[in-house]
Structure 1
Amino acid sequence: MYLTAVGVDSAPIEAPAANALLFQRCHWCGTAMFHRLLCPVCAGSDLRTEASTGAGVVRHSTVVHRNTPAARNVSLIEMSEGFTVQGRVMGPPAGILRGDRVQLATAQDAVRRQPVFQIVDGPYRAWS
Structure 2
Amino acid sequence: MYHHSGNVAHVATGSATGLLEPGAREPEALYFQRCAWCGSAMYHRLLCPVCRGSELRTERSEGSGTVRHSTVVHRNTPAARNVSLIEMAEGFVVRGRVMGPPIGIHSGDRVRLSTAKDPVRGEPVFQLLDEYRAWT
**TM-score for both structures, normalised by structure 2:** 0.79
Question: What is the CA–CA distance in structure 2 between the aligned matches of 1:19 and 1:80, rounded to whole Å?
Answer: 17
Match of 1:23 in 2: 32
Match of 2:14 in 1: none
1:57 pairs, out of 61, 66, 69, with 66
Check if 1:116 corresponds to 2:125.
yes
Offset of residue 101 of structure 1: 0.1
Check if 1:98 corresponds to 2:112.
no
Offset of residue 18 of structure 1: 2.1
Offset of residue 80 of structure 1: 0.2
Relative to total residues, which structure has the larger strand share, 1 or 2?
1
Question: What is the CA–CA distance in structure 1 between the aligned matches of 2:44 and 2:79, rounded to whole Å?
Answer: 29
The structure whose Rg is larger is 1
Q: What root-mean-square deviation, in Å, do the aligned CA atoms of Structure 1 and Structure 2 show?
A: 1.3
Offset of residue 63 of structure 1: 0.2
Match of 1:78 in 2: 87
| Structure 1 runs (4+) greater than 3 angstroms displaced | none
Offset of residue 106 of structure 1: 0.3
